[in-house]
A and B are shown apart, each in its own frame.
Chain A
Amino acid sequence: MEEQSKRGLRISDLNDYIVQDIISILPIKEAVRTSVLSKKWEHLWKSISKLDLDEEAHENREQFKDFIENILLVFNTSGIRKFSLSFQVGEDVAQVNKWLSRVVNPNIEEVTLDLGKPEQQLFFHEHIFISRTLTKLKLSMHHVIEFPSSIQFRSLKILSMEHVIFPDTSSTQFFFSSSCPSLEELTLANCNWINVIEVIISCPLLQKLVIEEWEDNDEDDENNDPGGCKIVINGTNITSFSYGGNLINDYSLSHSTSSVTDVCIMVYREGDNWETGYFVLKLLTALANTVEKLKISDYAFEGVYLPKDCENYIFPLPCCFGTYLKTIKIYYFYGTEAELNAIKFLLQEASVLETLYVYIDEEHDYDSPTGEDMLEEIYDQIMQYPRASKDCELELE
C-alpha cells in the first residue's frame, strides 16, 4: 500500500517547477550535467531560479571564468531570483561587470556578492539599486562603493556590507537615511568610513543591527584614524544590537531607540580603559530602559565599572540594571582582582539578575590540577559577594 496505485501519478508527472527546485539546490556543475538525462531535461536546468557561482568549487580561476561564460551563453537569466557570486575579482573588473549586467534582472530577490579586492570600480546594475523586489543584499568587497544618483530599495529587508569603503559624507548619508524604508536587519562588518565625517543611520523598521570593526593588522588602509566617523543610529524598532571591535569609529544610539532587549558588546582597545568604558557606558545608557539580555566582553566591562582604573566613573549606572536585566555574560575572564571587583559591583547593583555567566579565557590554563583549584576558589569568592538579586545563579565555564 506504500506503492502508488496504477491509476496514480508517476514521478515523471511531477510539475517542472518542483523538479527545477530540486535541480537548483544541486551544485551548479551537477545541475548542468542533468542536461544529458533526456531531451526535456536538456533544458530544465537553464531556467532554474537560483544561480550560485563559487570560485572555490572550481579547479582554477580560468576554468571558473570559462564556466560562467559558458553558463551565461545558454541560461535564461531573466528567471533568476536568487543570485550568488563568490570570486576574487582582482583585475577582472570588466568581465564581472558584464556578468552582473547579464544576471541581474528586474525581478531579482536575493543577491550575494563576495568579490574580494576589485582593482577598479564595479558598476552595480540599476536593477540592484532601484529594485521593487530585492529583499536581501549581501555585499563583501574591499573597494569604494559607488552609489548611483538614485537608489531605492523598496523591499530590502536584510542588508549586509563587509569591507565596503563608503565614498563620501553626502551620498553615504543619503543611502542610510532614505534608501531602505523596509530594512529590518543591517550588518556592517569591517566597513571603512574614512571618507565620511558623520552619518545618521535611520531606518524606521530596523530590528537588528550588527556592527563589527576589528583592526586588520595586515592592511595599510589607515582606516583607523583617531577621530573616526561619527555614526548615529536612529531606529525606534531595534530590538537587537551588537557591537564588536576596536572603537575605530564613534557610534551612538539616539534616544528614540527604546526598544532594544538584546545587546552584545565586545570591545578591545589596548591601554585605554577610560575611553572603552565611556564608549560602552554611552551605548548602555542609550539602551538602558529595556535591556533584558546583555553580553559583554571583559575589556568593556572593566572599563565601565572599575573605579580603580577610571577616575571618572561617576556616571549613573544604566537603569536596566535595576529593572529588566536578567542575564549577564562575561567573556575572556582571567580572574584578576580588577575583574573580581567589577563582578562584585555588578552583583550589588543588578537586582533582578537571574544568571551571571562567566566564560574563562581559553588561553588561560585552568585544566592543570592547580588551575582547577583556582577555578573553585574564584567560584567560592564570587559566591560570597553580597547580591542584590538573592536568587541569582552563577555559571563558571
Chain B
Amino acid sequence: MAEKASESSNSISLNTVDGKIFKVSPTIANQMQTIQSLIKAYDSSRVISLPHVNAFHLSKIIEYLEGKSATTVSAVKEFEAQFMKDLSLKQLKGLLIAVGYLKVNELLELMPKTVAKLIENKSVEFLRKFFGIVNDFTPSEEAKIREEIAWAFDGVDED
C-alpha cells in the first residue's frame, strides 16, 4: 500500500477521504476519467480531493493500472487473474464502487466479469445483500413477478 510517488514535476496529487496523499503520473491519472475532468477544472498545483475514495481502493487502482501497462499480453492476463483473486468479497465490492466513481475504463471492463462469476447461481437473498437492494415489492407483487417470469425459473430450486 505504499504511496507511489512520482519524481516527475507534473505529477498529480490525490487526497483520499481518509487523508492520504497519492502522487500519480499524468498517464495513470488520465486513465481515471473522473480525475481527468477534475484536472481540467482545477489549478494544476492543487491537491485533488476524492471524498468518495479511500486509500486502500485508490492504491489498488493504481497498482492495477501500473501492473497492466508494464507487461506483455499473456502476463497481463495472469496479473489480472491474480489481482482479482487477492481481493475479498468486501474489498471487491468497495473497489467496484471506487472504480465506478472514478470511471476507470480498464477496470470497468474487467470487474463486471469477475463480479458476474461471483454472483452466478446465487440466491435472491445473496444478490439483494450483495447489491444493497431493498426489496420494495409487497409479497403479492413479488409473487406476481415470479409468476410472470416463471419461464425463466425452469429447473431452478428457488430459495
Contacts and interface: CB of A to CB of B under 8 A. Distances in A.
Interface of A: 1-5, 7-15, 18-19, 21-27, 29-30, 32-42, 58-59, 63, 66-67, 70
Interface string B115-159: 111011100100110111111110000100110110111111000
B149 A1 contact: no
Which of under 10, 10 to 19, 20 to 34, or 35 or more describes the interface residues of B? 35 or more
Contacts of B155: 59
Interface string B76-111: 000000000000001101101100110000001000
Contact of A26 (B91, B116, B124): B116
Contact of A37 (B18, B128, B154): B128
A63 B54 contact: no
Q: What DSSP secondary structure best describes chain A's contact surface?
A: helix
Nearest to A27: B120
B124 A22 contact: no
Contacts of A34: 127
Interface of B: 17-18, 51-56, 90-91, 93-94, 96-97, 100-101, 108, 112-113, 115-117, 119-121, 124, 127-128, 130-137, 142, 145-146, 148-149, 151-156
B101 A37 contact: no
A21 B93 contact: no
22 contacts: A1-B18, A2-B94, A3-B54, A4-B97, A5-B54, A8-B52, A9-B52, A11-B96, A14-B96, A14-B100, A22-B116, A23-B116, A25-B116, A32-B152, A36-B137, A36-B149, A38-B135, A38-B136, A39-B136, A59-B155, A67-B151, A70-B151
Given A22-B119, A30-B120, A33-B153, A8 B54 contact: yes
B54 A11 contact: no
Contacts of B55: 1
Contacts of A8: 17, 51-54, 97
A278 B130 CA distance: 64
A11 B93 contact: yes
A346 B10 CA distance: 58
B145 A35 contact: yes
B97 A14 contact: yes
A234 B87 CA distance: 50
A21 B112 contact: yes
